[in-house]
């Protein structure tokens, strides 16, 4: 039996704009995440359709942002709408070097003006018996909203993810007070990779001086090899969030 490692990146790309919204930097984001070369990338606030070029942003790619970012590195991807407006929509995406068994976008919106969803995909990793479950999240700004969304996430996992199959939940939790821990650790038995290895969450927001632990990577049924908070240049001048990177080991076929 051999073990397989998998590298996970999660990143809120702020729809391809700099933190100040003054520069469109999607091309720089693409270059930076390609250099990281993770096996699976969780993206939040990624445009699925938009008309920014009409508003003077000439560098905007004419294809969907997640396809532009995936390019020739991640041949498999899933996208789920969160917010729909006149000029298009944005949401969560998972880019993967490995094929999907399936994927589903689950609406967890409470407020008409703040749509949210969970993007749940299962991957086939060569040499690994079990499906690998990936859930990309971007939770709401209000505490009550997040509580209900976390309850939905717990129910989704309890009903759709067998206890013996490995699971990764990653994204922007907007949980600067650390209250998600009760639902995710106590109800599901998942651990957060940075807290597990270093005793505390990684602070990822705002990018120029990270003070709040908004972004997380939770896991179950895998072994952690290492984790890294990507801060400093070039990340501090790109999105308003900084990315997280973690590497896990999966058991191979018996």
Element counts in the chain: helices (H) and strands (E): 6, 12
Question: Which of 60-69, 89-98, 136-145, 199-208: highest mean pLDDT?
Answer: 199-208
What would the 3-class secondary structure string for 87-104 be?
Answer: CEEEEEEEEECCCEEEEE
- 21: domain CATH number is 3.60.10.10
CB atoms within 10 A of CB 66: 23
pLDDT tops 50 at residue 1: no
Q: Which helix (H) or strand (E) holds 134?
A: strand 132-138
Which pLDDT tens digit goes with each residue over 177-211?
A: 888 888 898 889 999 999 999 999 999 999 999 99
Range of the domain at 220: 3-251
Query: ∠ CA(131), CA(133), CA(138), 5° rounding?
Result: 165
Which pLDDT tens digit goes with each residue over 99-145?
A: 999 999 998 877 655 578 899 999 989 888 889 999 999 998 888 88
Of 85 and 102, which is predicted with more confidence?
Answer: 102
Q: What is the pTM of this model?
A: 0.91
Number of domains in the chain: 1
Using alpha carbons, select from 161, 180, 158 the residue that is nearest to residue 171: 180
Q: Which helix (H) or strand (E) holds 229?
A: strand 223-229
């Amino acid at each position: 039996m051999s073990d397989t490692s998998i590298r996970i990146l999660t990143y809120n790309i702020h729809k391809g704009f700099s933190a100040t919204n003054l520069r469109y930097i999607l091309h720089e984001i693409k270059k930076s995440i390609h250099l990281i070369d993770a096996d699976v990338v969780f993206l939040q606030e990624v445009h699925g359709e938009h008309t920014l070029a009409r508003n003077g942003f000439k560098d905007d790619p004419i294809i969907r942002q997640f396809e532009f970012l995936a390019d020739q590195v991640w041949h498999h991807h899933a996208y789920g709408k969160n917010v729909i407006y006149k000029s298009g929509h944005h949401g969560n995406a998972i880019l993967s070097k490995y094929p999907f068994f399936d994927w589903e976008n689950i609406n967890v919106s409470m407020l008409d003006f703040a749509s949210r969803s969970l993007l749940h995909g299962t991957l086939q990793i060569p040499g690994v018996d079990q499906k690998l479950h990936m859930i990309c999240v971007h939770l709401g700004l209000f505490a009550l909203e997040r509580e209900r969304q976390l309850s939905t996430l717990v129910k989704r996992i309890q009903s759709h993810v067998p206890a013996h199959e490995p699971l990764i939940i990653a994204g922007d939790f907007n949980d600067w007070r650390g209250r998600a821990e009760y639902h995710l650790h106590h109800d599901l038995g998942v651990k957060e990779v940075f807290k597990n290895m270093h005793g505390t969450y990684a602070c990822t927001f705002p990018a120029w001086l990270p003070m709040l632990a908004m972004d997380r990577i939770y896991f179950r049924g895998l072994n952690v090899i290492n984790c890294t908070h990507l801060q400093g240049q070039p990340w501090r001048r790109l999105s308003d969030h900084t990315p997280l990177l973690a590497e896990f080991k999966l058991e191979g076929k018996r």
